Amino acid sequence: NALGAGRIFDQGAKLVENSINHGEFFKSDTWKKLVERVKKNNSTFHFIGLLSDGNVHAHIRHVLAMLRQCSQEGVQKVRLHILLDGRDVYEKSASKYIGETEKLLTELNQKGHDYAIASGGGRMITTMDRYNADWSIVKRGWDAHVLGKARQFSSALQAVETFYKEDPNVNDQYLPSFVIVKNEKPVGTIENGDSVVFFNFRGDRAIELSMAFDQGQEFNKFDRERVPDVLFAGMMEYDGDLHIPKHYLVSPPLIERAVSVYMCDNKIKTFAISETQKFGHVTYFWNGNKSGFVCKDLETYVEIPSDKVQFDKTPAMKAYEITDKTIELLKSGEYKFGRVNFPNGDMVGHTGVEKAIIESVEHTDSCMNKLIKVVNELRGITVVLADH
C-alpha cells in the first residue's frame, strides 16, 4: 500500500485501534444497527475472525472489546467463530488465545449472558482464502460457521488438542475446521435475523467470505446450501472499488493518486506480475485497495496460478514461471516500469520448515540473478525490496 501510494497512511490496525479507544467505533450507525437487530429479534450476534495478537489481519483485543460492549448493551446471545493463526504468531499458540477468550466469556456469562465459541479452524484451511486461489477454503468456513457442518467437539480447546495429537507436525494455520456441539447439536449456526461481524481489518483474506454473505443468486463460487437473512458487516470496507462488504464499522483511508495513476496519466506502459498468492499485492494493494486496472490500455497484469498445496511441499512455488514471463515482458520493449512479487520468502517462510525455507530462498536468489542480468542488459534499474 505504502509503495503504491507513495505515501504512508494509517492502515487497518491503527484505524480500528483508534476508533475503539476513542469510542467512535461503538457510536457508528453500523454498530447500532447490528445491536438493535439482535435485540429486536431476540437473535444471535456472531463474530468471525482471526483469533491472535499478530495484528496483521486482526487483533484479539478488538473482538474482546466488542464482546464487552455487547454485554454492556444487553446483547443476550453471542457466538464466536475463531480462525487459528500459527502464522503471524507462534505456530502452536491457539490454546493461549482460546484461553484468554474463554476467560472473558465465563466472566460475561456470570452476568446472565449466553456467550460461547461455536466453530473454528486454521486460517489456511478455513475461511481466509484470497485472490480466488481456493474457494474450497471459504466453503469449509461457510459450512462450519453458518451451517454447523464440520468435525464435532465439546470445546475449541478439545478440538485443538485432538488435532495436535493426531498429527504432531501440524501447526495452527493448517488445523481442520471444527464445530462445537452440546447434546449433539451445533451451539451456534447462523440463522435468519442474526447479526454477523467479520472482525479482520485487512482486506485480502476477508473479501471472499464477505461476498458469500453479501451476494444473492449471482454468487456462484460454491453451493451455500442455505443463505440466512443476516446483517453482515466487515471491520472495514475491504474493497473500495467493488464496495465489499456493503456494511462496515471503520472507514478505510482514501488512497488517491497512487503510482499507477501517475504512470497512466503520463502514458507510461507498465506491467505487474506474480502468482495467485501475491497477485493482489502488485495490483489491489499497490493501487490503493482498488480492484481492476487504472488504464487497461497501458497496463498488463499477469497472474500465474498458484498450486493448491502446503507451501513447504513446493518451495520453488512459481518463481521460475514468474521469472520467464517477466523476462519476456522486459525484452518486448513495450514497458518502462514493472513490479514483480516472488512469494516464496513469505509463504514458505511462514511454514517454519527450515529445509523448505532454505530451498525457497535459493530458488528466489537464482531467479533474481536471471532478472537482474536481463535488466542490466537493457540498461534498466532494478530495485529489490523485501519485508520478510
Residue-by-residue DSSP string for 61-84: HHHHHHHHHHHHTT--EEEEEEEE
Exposed / middle / buried, residue 174 (Cβ in 10 Å: 0-12, 13-18, 19+):
buried
Question: 323 in helix, strand or coil?
Answer: helix
Contact 143, 222 (CB under 8 A): no
Contacts of residue 383, defined as CB under 8 A and 6 or more positions apart, other chains included, come to none
Taking a C-beta distance cutoff of 8 angstroms, is the pair 46, 79 a contact? Answer: yes
What is the model's pLDDT at position 196? 98
pLDDT tens digits, the chain, 388 residues: what are they?
Answer: 889 999 988 888 899 999 999 999 999 999 999 999 999 999 999 999 999 999 999 999 999 999 999 999 999 999 999 999 999 999 999 999 999 999 999 999 999 999 999 999 999 999 999 999 999 999 999 999 999 999 999 999 999 999 999 999 999 999 999 999 999 999 999 999 999 999 999 999 999 999 999 999 999 999 999 999 999 999 999 988 789 999 999 987 788 899 999 999 999 999 999 999 999 999 999 999 888 999 999 999 999 999 988 899 999 999 999 999 999 999 999 999 999 999 999 999 988 899 999 999 999 999 999 999 999 999 999 999 986 6
Q: Name the pTM for this structure.
A: 0.80
Distance CA(240)–CA(226), nearest Å, equals: 28
Q: Give the list of residues 6+ apart from residue 133 with CB closer than 8 angstroms, or none.
A: 276, 277, 306, 308
pLDDT at 388: 64
* Residue 251, pLDDT score: 85
CB half-sphere exposure, 106, CA atoms < 13 A: 6
Q: What is the pLDDT of residue 317?
A: 97
Using only C-alpha atoms, the chain has a radius of gyration, in whole angstroms, of 22
The answer to whether residues 133 and 155 touch, using CB atoms and an 8 Å cutoff, is no
Beta bridge partners of 340: 273
CA separation (Å) from 31 to 27, 250, 295, 371?
Answer: 7, 10, 37, 50
